[in-house]
Amino acid sequence: MEALSDFWRRFRRRRTAVFGLALMAVIVLLAALGPMVVPGSPWEIVGTPFTFPFVDPAHPLGTDVLGRDILRGILNGARVSLLVGLSAAAAALTIGIVIGACAGYFRGWLDDLLMRFTDVFQTIPNFLFAFVLVAMFGTSLVNVVIAIALVSWPPIARLVRAETLSLREREFVQSCIVIGMGEGSIIFRQILPNAMPPVIVMSSIMVATAILTEAGLSFLGLGDPNVMSWGTMIGIGRSALRTAWYMAAIPGVCILLTVLALNLVGEGLNDALNPHLKNR
């Protein structure tokens, strides 16, 4: 409990972090409750196409090229974007942590093998790789999440490996080895909990990157065409950019705010968890 209040004290020291957290809370709330407040499918054609925002009270944020309500799209898109961001980041973390921990703990040939494997993934430009994966396996939401996870785990693996390499030489780990603790227990119960702070900081950024990647894929027409995400909305609005800029701008601002919020939270976490900054 004391640790938690201590954490919160350090986190809120940075005002922008608190702002980011509040912003994030608003976005999560919108995603959770929005579709209940404004019901109906975001794909349904409900109004006159090309209605600007604040013109028709029935469609406060206007309608898109085919007369679909933009507010509905934004609220549903928030769910999709957060879902994609969180699940892709979770999947990437799982892969990255397992590979990084094994490489760092066992070292030797396994380390070499896993790190060369990581190198292979790291040398291919992330976005292009995701693009190819989705093009190959089809444009469903699950495939998009898998593709994003597959391209974003290498930095996590590198980070966890580095932490593990240094932690495994510490006395408390050595003593665990001496008392005969199993390797799995040592890795998961002793090393990883201590390696977590930088990973947690990185994962908030990773969620943001995943949201951006999904938006990029959807913008290029390789998102799931049955799911209204913010990227899909920008893609739809792209061709009308010169005549109806709001179609791309509104979801664009949403992505901007979400990514900003996640980055600010990430910085706050860094302050709160980084031991070097503890006593600042």
Interface residue with other proteins among 40, 138, 182, 193 (CB under 8 A) is: 138
In terms of Cβ atoms closer than 10 Å to its own Cβ (0-12, 13-18, 19+), residue 4 is exposed
Of 27-35, 43-51, 82-90, 96-104, the window that binds other proteins (rule: CB under 8 A) is: 43-51
Find the shortest distance in angstroms from Cβ 36 to other proteins.
Answer: 20
DSSP one-letter string for 91-127: HHHHHHHHHHHHHHHH-HHHHHHHHHHHHHHHHS-HH
241 contacts other proteins (rule: CB under 8 A): yes
| Residue 16 binds to other proteins (criterion: CB under 8 A) | no
Q: Is 239 in the site for other proteins (CB under 8 A)?
A: yes
Query: In the complex, what is the shortest distance from the CB of residue 216 to other proteins, in angstroms, rounded to a whole number?
Result: 14
Report which of 18, 24, 92 is spatially closest to residue 259, judged by C-alpha positions.
24
CB of 138 to other proteins, least distance (A): 7
Q: Rule CB under 8 A: say whether 49 interacts with other proteins.
A: yes
3-state DSSP assignment of residue 69: strand
Given the rule CB under 8 A, which of 48-56, 111-119, 174-182, 252-260 is the region that contacts other proteins? 48-56
In the complex with other proteins, which residue's Cβ is closer, 103 or 222?
222
Q: Does 40 bind other proteins (CB under 8 A)?
A: no
Q: Name which of residues 139 to 198 contact other proteins (CB under 8 A).
A: 139
Per rule CB under 8 A, is residue 48 in the interface with other proteins? yes
How many CB atoms are located within 10 Å of the residue 279 CB? 6
Residues 55-114, interacting with other proteins (CB under 8 A)? 65-67
Look at phi and psi of residue 125 and say left if phi exceeds 0, alpha if psi is from -120 to 50, else beta. beta
CA dist 168 and 191 (Å) reads 7
Which of 116, 242, 276, 280 is the binder for other proteins (CB under 8 A)?
Answer: 242
Between 243 and 279, whose beta carbon lies closer to other proteins? 243
Whole-angstrom CA distances from 159 to 85, 154, 155, 165 are 20, 9, 6, 10
**# binding residues, other proteins (CB under 8 A):** 27
Q: Is 236 in the site for other proteins (CB under 8 A)?
A: yes
In terms of Cβ atoms closer than 10 Å to its own Cβ (0-12, 13-18, 19+), residue 14 is middle
| C-beta of 165 vs 240, nearer to other proteins | 240
CA 186 to the chain's CA centroid:
29
Q: Which is nearer to other proteins, 50 or 117 (CB)?
A: 50
CA angle 107–167–97, rounded 5-degree value: 65
- Is residue 223 involved in binding other proteins (CB under 8 A)? yes
Measured between alpha carbons, how far is 83 from 77 in angstroms, rounded to an integer? Answer: 10
Residue 150 in tokens: 């597959």
Task: List residues binding other proteins (CB under 8 A).
Answer: 43-45, 48-50, 65-67, 135-136, 138-139, 221-226, 236, 238-244
